[in-house]
Amino acid sequence: MKTERIAKKFARCAHEGRPALITFVSAGAPDLATGSAILQGLPAAGADLIELGMPFSDPMADGLAIQLGGQRALADGHTLHTTLDMVKIFRQNDDTTPIILMGYYNPIYAFGREKFLAAAREAGVDGLIIVDLPYEEDEELCLPALEAGLNFIRLTTPTTDDARLELVLQNTSGFVYYVSMTGVTGAALSNTKAVGEAVTRIKIQTDLPVAVGFGIKTADDAALIGRYADVVVVGTVLVNAVADSLDSEGKATPETVSAVHDLVASLADGVRRART
């Protein structure tokens, strides 16, 4: 009895003959009110799915932009409980846009695994991407999450060979997330041809939709990657849009929310050009 929002959304995008757009934002950044306004407006701006970053003090796989985004939220008193509250409020007006929580394991472990899974499901979360839980640690959270009706979306990377890919895919659900390069979030996209080949290689082994993320910054990037991928993921540039809109004290300005939504609109335009 997994939540069905993800599958329904992909079916709809496929019907429209275009890749889906996933937007990543850090929950509660730069502050709770602004972060909530950003979140609420993402679907109208053109996001098909939403990745909501759970802030963590030590985001080892993230570049500076997302590190600072999470730090702004934590400095504002944000916790995992607040992230779940944001989802709950979002769900009051939107029951179709999938929400995937992305982050690191320790805040969940501290929350209590079973308690967290129940609370996430209850709040209206559809899936989890936990960076520091490879398949070797499936019993920690992946298997209990699947049991609780949440999708567990796995990352595969350029270092994942075919033999390993089979094991990575085993308990993956919802979609597969291909990390376009070896590097942290925010680095530059290097070789789009290799990305296309990797997507083909993954599709031999699975029927799940394949998302591609890391390094996608512009509508043109989105259009280019959307030629190969079922799903295009954009994060760092949105977090940067928040950062660039802040005043000299790091506080939100009247432009903060619209800066993010305008960028999402142009990226949504990009994915709609991908296959024309």
Partner 1 sequence: MNEQKTNSLRNGPTEEGRFGDFGGRFVAETLMPLIRELEEAYDAAKSDPAYIAQLSDLNTHYTGRPSPLYFAERMSEHLGGAKVYFKREELNHTGSHKLNNCLGQILLAKRMGKTRIIAETGAGQHGVATATVCARFGLPCVVYMGATDVERQAPNVFRMELLGAKIVPVTAGAGTLKDAMNEALRDWVANVEDTYYLIGTAAGPHPYPAMVRDFQSVIGAELREQFDRIEGGTPDALVACIGGGSNAIGLFHEFLDDPNVKMYGAEAGGYGIDVDNGHAASMTGGRPGVLHGNRTYLLQDEDGQILEGDSISAGLDYPGVGPEHSFLKDSGRVNYVPITDSEALEAFQLCARLEGILPALESAHGLAQVMKLAPTMDRDQTIVLCLSGRGDKDVDTVSQHIKGA
Q: Count residues contacting partner 1 (CB under 8 A)?
A: 41
Minimum CB–partner distance for residue 183 and partner 1 (Å): 4
| Window 131 to 150, contacts with partner 1 (CB under 8 A) | 131-134, 136-137
Find where tokens 């972060």 sit: 35
274 and 20 Cβ atoms separated by less than 8 Å: no
- CA–chain centroid gap for 7, Å, is 16
How deeply is 27 buried, as exposed, middle or buried, from its count of CB atoms within 10 A (0-12, 13-18, 19+)?
Answer: buried
- Member of 4, 33, 106, 251 binding partner 1 (CB under 8 A): 106
Binding of partner 1 at residue 118 (CB under 8 A)? no
Nearest to partner 1 of 91, 164 (CB atom): 164
**C-alpha closest to that of 179 among 157, 198, 195:** 157
Nearest to partner 1 of 187, 246 (CB atom): 187
Query: Is 51 annotated in the active site?
Result: yes
Which one is catalytic: 31, 48, 51, 126? 51
Query: What does the angle CA 97 – CA 100 – CA 104 come to, to the nearest 5 degrees?
Result: 165
CA dihedral 137, 28, 189, 225 (to 10 degrees): 90
Q: How far apart are CA 232 and CA 230, in angstroms?
A: 7
- Residues 23-62: x/- map of binding to partner 1 (CB under 8 A)? ---------------------------------xxxxxx-
Query: Is 122 annotated in the active site?
Result: no
Which one is catalytic: 62, 126, 221, 230? 62
- Member of 40, 157, 205, 218 binding partner 1 (CB under 8 A): 157
- Member of 5, 9, 18, 154 binding partner 1 (CB under 8 A): 154
217 and 265 Cβ atoms separated by less than 8 Å: no
**C-alpha closest to that of 235 among 166, 159, 184, 175:** 184
Find where tokens 């590097």 sit: 183
Minimum CB–partner distance for residue 60 and partner 1 (Å): 5
Active-site residues, by number, are: 51, 62
Residues at the interface with partner 1 (CB under 8 A): 56-61, 63, 67, 74, 79-81, 104-111, 131-134, 136-137, 154-161, 164, 168, 179, 182-184, 187
